[in-house]
Amino acid sequence: MNFQELLAFAERHPYLSLALAGLTLAIVYTEIARLFRGYKALRPAELTVLINRENALVVDLSASADFEKGHIAGSKSVQPSQFDPENKLLAPARQLPVVVVCRNGQASADAAKRLKKAGFEKVYWLDGGILAWQQADLPLVKGRA
């Protein structure tokens, strides 16, 4: 396909061409925003490496009942309503890797953003949350931490 054929297609199908342009811009914007947000998404395997090699602090924002049903070994439970970067658990960990997790990855992404704004240096979130951890067949610990 050459440039002339591409222009002819765009003239015959203006709505498809606009949709393609819009989607392309949305993808480019999302990827650029991801580069500059200051915190990184982790997959479960990457989280295990971070825990084992760099002694990362894992903060679980799940509800208490969900946390007791299953959480990542060594993670600390913090209720979303009580999440504060100046919390006595978090404040001393400003130079350590801090990983925020929740059940599905939504609340933890917002918490990671707050930590980064508060000056934490190494901030991560578990993309997909505990559900992704389970889908990777990684173990969960039951009970309170």
CATH code at position 99: 3.40.250.10
Residue 19 sits in the same domain as residue 69: no
Q: Would you state the pLDDT for residue 34?
A: 67
Residue 60 sits in the same domain as residue 24: no
Residue 46 sits in the same domain as residue 82: yes
Q: Would you state the pLDDT for residue 30?
A: 77
Residue 79 sits in the same domain as residue 130: yes
Q: Is residue 106 part of a domain?
A: yes
Residue 86 sits in the same domain as residue 63: yes
Residue 28 sits in the same domain as residue 46: no
Q: Would you state the pLDDT for residue 123?
A: 94
Q: Is residue 93 part of a domain?
A: yes
Q: Is residue 143 part of a domain?
A: no
Instruction: Print pLDDT tens along the chain (145 aa).
Output: 788 998 898 899 999 989 999 999 998 987 777 666 778 889 999 999 999 999 899 999 999 999 999 999 999 999 888 888 888 888 888 888 999 999 988 888 889 988 988 889 899 999 999 999 999 999 999 987 5
Q: Is residue 128 part of a domain?
A: yes
- Which domain range does residue 94 map to? 39-135
Residue 29 Cα to chain centre, angstroms = 18
Q: Would you state the pLDDT for residue 81?
A: 84
Q: Would you state the pLDDT for residue 143?
A: 83
Residue 91 sits in the same domain as residue 108: yes
- The tally of domains found in the chain comes to 2
Residue 72 sits in the same domain as residue 18: no
Residue 11 sits in the same domain as residue 52: no
